[in-house]
Amino acid sequence: MPAAEKTDAFATLVARLGRWILLTGALSLPGVLFYWGWQGSLAFAFGNIAAYFNMRWLAKALAAPTSPSTALLVIRFALAGGAAYVILETFGISPLFIIAGLLTASVAVILEILFQLLYART
- pLDDT tens digit at each of 122 positions of the chain: 565 556 688 888 899 999 999 999 999 999 999 998 888 898 899 889 989 988 888 888 777 766 665 666 667 777 777 877 887 788 777 788 888 888 999 999 999 999 988 887 65
- What does the pLDDT look like over 60-80, one tens digit per residue? 877 776 666 566 666 777 777
Residues 63, 11: Cα–Cα separation, whole Å: 9
SS3 (DSSP) at 1: coil
As for how many domains the chain has, the answer is 1
Per-residue model confidence (pLDDT) at position 74 = 67
pTM attached to this predicted model: 0.77
Q: Which residues of 28-40 are buried (b: 16+ CB within 10 A; e: fewer)?
A: bbeebbeebeebb
Question: Which residues constitute the domain of residue 55?
Answer: 3-118
Q: What is the number of residues in the chain?
A: 122
